[in-house]
């Protein structure tokens, strides 16, 4: 649906240029190619993915991370609303769309069958560059590809016959039927987009302008116009064909008698250039952020004089950068849990490298050491291809790494939406001679108190103390709320529970190596990993004034509506879904300061809060209007509502849909 919306916007811009600047000009051939070209551009621009990001050739290698225990961050509660558990409106819309596609294709097929039936029961005679098809059925003369159809029941004078045939020959020789079929197919799959019908009408009208111009080059224009009016018979045309007697006769006659456009008017086509630039900027140019893998933390191991570092970082536009289920080294398929399979696969790959990677003789003799970064693609069948060296490789080390990778057994391929996909991985291998110092800072994991500054979400770095922490927690919750969805499988099975995910906040603030520590299953683990992988960069933690890598653990609780609430706490929101008039929040909590927090699901950084500093612990109800809830200025959307005590602990939460 997003693709169709973006294509609609592209066609609206391109057709607007045609309608305002070009349709009245006599550059019919150029107009034809403009319409066809922009029709295809509207299909292509939304799927282009032009990366503006300048990235380094090698990945960021993790030093020994500082281990921080479970953060003092309240559990995030993801609630499936009654609306989510009820009718699946997205599925209904999808069914309606595909039903429209089927009906449109059936209509197109019926038009083709009409023409095929006429052709099969006709007398066919070869002519100069086409076939003359003489039929018994009553219809107006028309052309389709290299066939000119003429009914025996259609009687004209010899002069009119020559004129009509010249018109249809123009359609045949200029291959207008190719345009018609292309438009019908595009319209079948974009039947719900109004601008595709404007395109169909404009292209067919342009075809008639071109054919009329061909005829009137050797025929009196007034006499030809009278022929059009005299022979116009509504209801006798065959679908998807080119015919002399199409509609919009008034426009055609006006265009025939119009003075040719000046060359200066051709400059109007340049209006297309800023339009293309604007649409590319809106839909095609992206700035990608590094996407983490689902494999465990980097590990160092030694094989005699060979020091090998393993890591995988997907990259590249030709294949997936990250998928719901990352590729794994084979041999661990019998394990049920995702994290166990990942750890096992990592160990298997390490064992494989230990037994296969050899320090090249030339590299030893010449003292070549250092890091070799290789990249390879795991194909949909698990095979390895497109192996290359991105960094290093002196003294035969690059050839050795490529040899070992190519000799790997078939992997378990990565999967997206349950289907195998191609995934690119990067593998750094460090070669070190005896006596080389280790390249990592192996130190005892630090505790919370050992850090000078904890990592925080961007936008909170200027704050201090508890305010800094509260700001970061709020932005983190919003980053999660704005992206996470309750998996359909978990809803159907009634699965609830706590997913605990561990990830590393690097020295540059990027989020890497998300790993499930506590699993729930039924799609919840994968959903948490997906959302963590899309997190924006943090402001990194610091030790002794320097940025350090920090291991961060985040609990995410999935809870269905109606789940058990905390004792002594009441938290209800109604009606849900709500209207533009707003909704009521009914709550009861321990006496003291309480707050109700509102998060706009569509935007990060937009939070509204209602605070009750002297709450007495009684059942209370407050009405919430929609003004100020949504960052786009509208009064519709999805908002996450939570009740908190004076320490910021979440007492209850839910999702409200405002329609």
Range with top average pLDDT, 175-189, 299-313, 473-487 = 175-189
Q: Give percent above pLDDT 70 in the chain.
A: 77
Look over the chain and give the mean of its residue pLDDT values, rounded to a whole number: 76
- CA atoms of 616 and 594, how far apart (whole Å): 10
Element (H, E) at 82: helix 82-85
pLDDT for 120 beyond 60: yes
Mean pLDDT confidence for 71-94: 52
Question: Where is pLDDT greater, at 581 or 566?
Answer: 581
pLDDT number for residue 217:
80
Element (H, E) at 405: helix 397-406
* Residue in this structure with the two tokens 């100069």, named with its chain if needed: 128
DSSP strand pairing (76-80 vs 550-560): parallel
Q: Report the predicted TM-score, pTM, of the whole model to 2 decimal places.
A: 0.45
Closest CA to 595 of 610, 583, 616, 573: 610
Question: Where is pLDDT greater, at 467 or 124?
Answer: 124
pLDDT number for residue 307:
28
Q: Give percent above pLDDT 90 in the chain.
A: 19
Burial class (CB in 10 A: 0-12, 13-18, 19+), 289: middle
Mean pLDDT confidence for 181-196: 93
HEC readout, 293-309? CCCCCCEEEEECCEEEE
Query: What number of other Cβ atoms are within 10 A of residue 113's Cβ?
Result: 11
Range with top average pLDDT, 325-334, 456-465, 613-622 = 613-622
Query: What number of other Cβ atoms are within 10 A of residue 338's Cβ?
Result: 19
- CA atoms of 60 and 179, how far apart (whole Å): 51
Write the DSSP symbol of residue 21.
Answer: I
CA angle 93/99/103 to nearest 5° reads 145
**Backbone angles phi and psi of 18, in degrees to 5:** -60, -45
Between 170-179, 303-312, 357-366, the lowest mean confidence (pLDDT) is in 303-312
DSSP characters for 209-246? HHHHHHHHTSS-HHHHHHHHHHT--TT-PPTT-EETT-
Confidence band, pLDDT 50/70/90 cuts, at residue 566: low
Mean pLDDT confidence for 149-173: 87
Range with top average pLDDT, 321-330, 413-422, 628-637 = 413-422
- CA atoms of 148 and 167, how far apart (whole Å): 10
Confidence band, pLDDT 50/70/90 cuts, at residue 153: confident
Looking at the DSSP bridge assignments, the partners of residue 456 are 539
Question: Where is pLDDT greater, at 83 or 94?
Answer: 94
Confidence band, pLDDT 50/70/90 cuts, at residue 632: low
pLDDT number for residue 146:
92
Q: Please report the domains of the chain, with CATH numbers, ordered by start residue.
A: 89-257 (no CATH), 299-440 (3.30.2420.10), 565-659 (2.60.40.230)
Tokens representing residue 19 in the block: 């309608």
pLDDT for 171 beyond 70: yes
């Amino acid at each position: 649906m997003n693709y169709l919306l973006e294509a609609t916007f592209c066609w609206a811009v391109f057709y607007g240029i045609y309608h305002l600047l070009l349709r009245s000009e006599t550059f019919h051939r150029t107009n034809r190619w403009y319409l066809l070209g922009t029709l295809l551009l509207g299909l292509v621009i939304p799927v282009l993915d032009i990366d503006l990001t300048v990235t380094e050739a090698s990945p960021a290698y993790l030093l020994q991370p500082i281990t921080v225990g479970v953060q003092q961050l309240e559990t995030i509660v993801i609630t499936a609303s009654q609306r989510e558990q009820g009718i699946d409106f997205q599925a209904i819309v999808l069914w309606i769309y595909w039903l429209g596609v089927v009906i449109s294709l059936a209509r197109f097929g019926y038009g083709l069958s009409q023409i095929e039936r006429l052709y099969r029961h006709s007398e066919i005679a070869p002519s100069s560059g086409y076939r003359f098809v003489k039929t018994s059925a009553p219809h107006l003369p028309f052309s389709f590809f290299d066939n000119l159809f003429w009914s025996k029941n259609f009687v004209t004078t010899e002069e009119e016959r020559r004129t009509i045939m010249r018109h249809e020959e123009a359609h045949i020789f200029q291959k207008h039927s190719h345009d018609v079929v292309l438009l019908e197919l595009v319209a079948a799959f974009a039947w719900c987009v109004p601008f595709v019908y404007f395109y169909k009408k404009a292209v067919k009208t342009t075809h008639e302008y071109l054919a009329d111009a061909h005829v009137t080059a050797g025929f009196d224009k007034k006499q030809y116009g009278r022929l059009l009016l005299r022979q116009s018979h509504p209801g006798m045309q065959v679908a998807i064909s080119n015919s002399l007697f199409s509609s919009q006769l008034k426009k055609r006659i006006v265009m025939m008698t119009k003075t040719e456009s000046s060359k200066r008017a051709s400059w109007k086509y340049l209006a297309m250039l800023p339009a293309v630039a604007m649409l590319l900027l809106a839909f095609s140019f992206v700035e990608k952020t590094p996407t983490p893998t689902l494999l465990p933390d980097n590990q160092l191991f030694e094989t005699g004089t060979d020091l090998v570092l393993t890591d995988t970082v997907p990259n590249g536009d030709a294949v997936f950068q990250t998928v719901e289920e990352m590729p794994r080294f084979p041999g661990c398929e019998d394990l049920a849990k995702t994290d166990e399979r990942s750890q096992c696969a990592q160990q298997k790959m390490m064992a494989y490298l230990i037994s296969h990677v050899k320090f090249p003789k030339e590299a030893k003799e010449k003292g070549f050491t250092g890091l070799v970064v290789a990249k390879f693609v795991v194909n949909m069948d698990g095979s390895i291809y497109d192996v290359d060296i991105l960094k290093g490789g002196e003294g035969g080390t690059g050839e050795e790494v490529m040899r070992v990778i190519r000799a790997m057994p078939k992997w378990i391929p990565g999967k997206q939406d349950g289907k195998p996909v191609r995934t690119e991985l990067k593998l750094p291998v460090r070669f070190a001679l005896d006596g080389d110092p280790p390249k990592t800072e192996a130190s005892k994991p630090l505790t919370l108190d050992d850090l000078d500054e904890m990592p925080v979400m961007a936008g909170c770095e200027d704050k201090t103390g508890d305010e800094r922490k509260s700001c970061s927690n709020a932005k983190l919750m919003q980053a999660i709320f704005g992206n996470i969805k309750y998996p359909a499988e978990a809803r159907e099975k009634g699965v609830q529970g706590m997913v605990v995910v561990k990830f590393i906040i690097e020295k540059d603030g990027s989020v890497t190596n998300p790993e499930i520590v506590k699993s729930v299953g039924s799609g919840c683990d994968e959903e948490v990993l997906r959302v963590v992988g899309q997190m924006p960069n943090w402001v990194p933690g610091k030790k002794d004034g320097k940025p350090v890598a920090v291991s961060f653990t985040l609990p995410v609780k999935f809870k269905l509506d109606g789940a058990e609430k905390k004792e002594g706490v009441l938290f209800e929101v109604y009606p849900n879904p709500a209207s533009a008039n707003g909704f009521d929040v009914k709550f009861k909590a321990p006496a003291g300061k309480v707050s109700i927090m509102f998060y706009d699901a569509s935007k990060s950084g937009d939070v509204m809060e209602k605070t009750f500093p002297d709450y007495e612990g009684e059942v209370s109800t407050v009405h919430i209007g929609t003004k100020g809830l949504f960052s786009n200025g509208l009064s519709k959307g999805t908002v996450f509502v939570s009740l908190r005590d004076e320490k910021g602990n979440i007492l209850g939460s839910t999702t409200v849909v405002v329609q």
